[in-house]
Structures are given as structure tokens and as C-alpha cells.
Amino acid sequence: MGANVRGTHACERVVVNRVPLQPMKVLTLLKSSYPNAHYYLDFKTPLDLLVAAILSAQVRDEVVNDATKELFRHYKKAKDYANASVNDLVKYIGKVSFAANKATHIIAASKMLVDKHDGNVPKTIEELIELPGVGRKTAIVILSNAYNIVDGIVVDTHVIRVSDRLGWSHQKNADRRAQELDKLIPKEWWKETQWLLKAHGRAICKAPIPSCSRCPIGKLCPKVGVTKHE
């Protein structure tokens, strides 16, 4: 292709290819803007986190945290969940979407913990994804936040939106996007990346209209796909 490249798409390709050279600048600025960014689901034990993570699918964090306040007071160990009925759990998690299905997963996962892991939440992705209701994303969440075993970047809706606009990845498949981000961002930043992009997505880089005039990384962002902003 010659030097006289024309058209919006060609321009976007040039920008998108340039911007990934700057992820550390972006993350450093975001860390200074959101110094208190942290994991968003409340938990005290790995089992708490397993349960909260299963409940969190397609649910706002606040709804999950509200439901688990009472749930965690009554259920402390895997055997407690394993011996519960779906209706027992739904009493506490009724406001969570697909509550009965998620209760079923929690009970089945807890029975597997009791039978195969002495009631403990395992520490490998391979063992975690064997549990009902646990996929790769949930497994990475548990390892990273319960055990500080960082095995990749967690991709949620905020990470997808912000990384799209930054030009870091345009993969529709969450696992493939996570793989691209893992290659782009140094491992020591993997754990914080989701916290920071989520905080930024909630505060500034919102859907459908971001507040670009207040954005701390505005000068580094190509605003890919943004047609209107504040």
C-alpha cells in the first residue's frame, strides 16, 4: 500500500497500531487518578469469593454484595452449602438474577469441594474450571484475588469498552481479548488492570457516551469507535 492511504479505517489502523506502545503510561495515569481502585466483590475467604463470583454473572456488584452480607453470616464452609437446598440459598440471593440456577451451581460446586478438595477452594485454573458455574474468567478472579496467584487479566464489560476505545484489542471473544491484553500489558500490572479499567469505565469512559473532557488519559486515547462524547 502506498503512502497516500485514504479513509477513516486506514487512519484508525495507524492510530490503533501506535497506541498499544503506551499502555504503561495509560495505566500509570489511571493509577494516580484512581488510587483506591480495588476488587469490587466483598469476601473474606476463598469460598466467599467463589460464591460471590458465581453470583456476579450479569449482576451489578452492589446487588451481589448486598445479597452476600447475610448469606456469608449463615454459610461459612463448603459443607454448609453442600447440605443446603436451592430454596435455602434463594432466601438470601433472591434479588440476584437467575438465583435458582446459581444456587444449584453453588451447591454442586460445594459438594465437589467436599468430595475432591477436603472442602477447600483449589489453587489451579484446571481444578477450578471443573467446578459447576466456574469458567476461566471466574477461575482467574479467584486465583488473583483470593490467593494472589495472577494468571491473566480479567475481562468484564468495562475492560472491553475501555480497551476498545484505547485500541488495545477489538476481539469479541472475551478469552481471546484477555490473551491479547496479557501479551500487551506486563504481568506485574495484570491484577490492577481490571480494577483500573473498571474504575475508569464507571467514572468517565461510560457507555454509550464517555466524558472525554474530564478524562485523565484523553491525550493518549484515540477514542476508537466514539462518535459522541461529553
User: What's the CA gap between 154 and 182, in Å, rounded?
Assistant: 10
88 assigned to active site: no
137 assigned to active site: yes
Phi-psi region of 144 (alpha: psi -120 to 50; beta: other; left: phi over 0): alpha
The catalytic position among 48, 102, 137, 191 is: 137
Cβ count within 10 A of residue 227: 7
The catalytic position among 42, 66, 88, 156 is: 156
User: Cα–Cα–Cα angle for 149, 38, 34, nearest 5°?
Assistant: 130
Residues classed as catalytic: 137, 156
